[in-house]
Chain A
Amino acid sequence: MTAATVTARKSYSTTAPAYTPAPQGKVSFSFRNVAKQFGGKAVLQGINLDVYEGQFVAVIGKSGCGKSTLLRLLAGLDKPTSGEIVTGVLEDDQKRTRIMFQEPRLLPWARVAANVGVGLTGIEKGETARKKSLEILAEVGLADRGGEWPSVLSGGQRQRVALARALVGHPSILALDEPLGALDALTRIEMQQLLERIWLAKKFTAVLVTHDVAEAVSLADRVVVIDSGRIALDLAIPVERPRRHASPELAFFERQILDQLYNR
């Protein structure tokens, strides 16, 4: 495993598709030799990762390999057992890192706009908060739905509300834990396009955990594969946007990732 990591890290700096940071890119966050254990069981170990501002990183790996744990560490929901996580935004980084889950986690008793307003807790109140909530709802394609109860929305719409809530406070880092995992295939593609469009417009750092390799290569600048708690592959996807689903270029990267995942 260690060997695989080493080669992967090497290819990162030498071979063609390796990731090279943008010339004057500032670091958004860094994991420095981070390890996480739960009751003596090592879930993550030796994680070193520098992500640049505005980068779109996809994290991929088999179920139970520690992807969610990685995101929870990034969002400050858990503390690493050893090592440290440095985020560029120092003082109010908690405010500026948002996390989105597979479940939308909307408050069923609050109207859609009020749910988005939760994202402005401690930032904005009252009429301004409401105005901003409605604006961001329009951006995710839910203009006019602010007055509805979450229970009347479809799964994809609920996830858009959750996205709006995460974005309304202008986070510098958005962590996404399989946010499209529960959606049907067509809604997924729509949501991927929406996510890309909004990321391009807002320029936040995006960290997307997914189990869908095609989704990872079609959205990300860089794909990180985690295996047994370590980074097994760190691959740049230097493909122009807009990208076409299932294009040969993307398929090339997709194969590389699959080979790594199944040790072929």
Chain B
Amino acid sequence: MSRALRSIGRSTLGWLLPALLLAGWEGASRAGLIPANVLPAPSAVGEAFWKLLLSGELIENIRISTLRALSGFLVGGSIGFALGLANGLSALSRELTDTTLQMIRNIPHLALIPLVILWFGIDEEAKLFLVALGVFFPIYVNTLLGIQGVDPQLVEMGRIYGMSRTQLFVRVILPGALPSIFVGLRYALGIMWLTLIVAETISASSGLGYMAMQAREFLLIDVVVLSILIYALLGKLADSLARFLERISLQWHPAFQTV
């Protein structure tokens, strides 16, 4: 009981500072300490939010951006995961592809933007490609690391007890690699939003980044700030979801045991 109360108290405590900052910001804006053309008051941002929400523009842009982020993530993530598995399990596959992949990894994927625009224009493919590429590497590298880091003594134990290759994979190798795969997942989610923001800001005709860029042209600074806040919120949401999945699937891990 008291523990539950304390944990509620602790999570509230984390929100105290942001709330204070917000109140301070509002106060400073009202007192004219922060000019409205530098940073609008939180209430102004709230108003912009309400207006865009009612017009349906906001929801539509969030929907488009989320769809882009997730499809890029799905494509890049599944290729990265599959290659990570293949290279973790087969020395042949690793020797064939790992050097090449490690070389490509050294190119910052955002540096490809001019090339990607030349290839795909500003169509959906451009964004999909960039997000997929950005997400690919953290998932690939961490899946590979995870599998290579599985305790060989446990693998030997599984063999001794007559596990088939499939059983060995499902019961020993994959669970052993999972903590590292989650590290890759959370990292990839961060990169996913980052890439999308950049791509949408540079070349798009819809989405949150586009909304922000348009607002900039019309000097609607409250909408610009609003877009930034929503990006932050979406990023946080994705991370919380990943953490939640992590907590569920890594219950066995001492780091996630709450006894």
Contact = CB atoms under 8 A, between A and B. Distances in A.
A110 interface: yes
Interface stretch (A16-24, A45-53, A116-124): A116-124
B257 A110 contact: no
Contacts of B251: 149
A119 B162 CA distance: 9
B99 interface: no
Nearest to B151: A105
Interface in A144-199: 149-152, 165
Contacts, number: 49
Contacts of A152: 257, 259
A152 B158 CA distance: 22
Residues of B contacting A: mostly? helix
Interface size for chain B: under 10, 10 to 19, 20 to 34, or 35 or more residues?
Answer: 20 to 34
Interface string B162-192: 1100010001100110100000000000000
A151 B254 contact: yes
A152 B175 CA distance: 18
Interface stretch (A4-12, A95-103, A134-142, A239-247): A95-103
Contact of B157 (A105, A108, A149, A150): A105
Residues of A contacting B: mostly? loop
A124 B151 CA distance: 26
A121 B167 contact: yes
Interface residues of A, number: 22
Contact of B162 (A95, A103, A149, A151): A95
A94 interface: yes
A77 interface: yes
Contacts of A119: 161
Nearest to A119: B161
Given A105-B157, A118-B158, A152-B257, 7 more contacts: A77-B160, A109-B178, A109-B252, A109-B253, A122-B162, A151-B253, A151-B257
**Lowest 10 A-B CB distances belong to which pairs?**
A109-B175, A109-B252, A105-B157, A122-B162, A121-B161, A151-B254, A149-B252, A121-B162, A118-B161, A105-B153
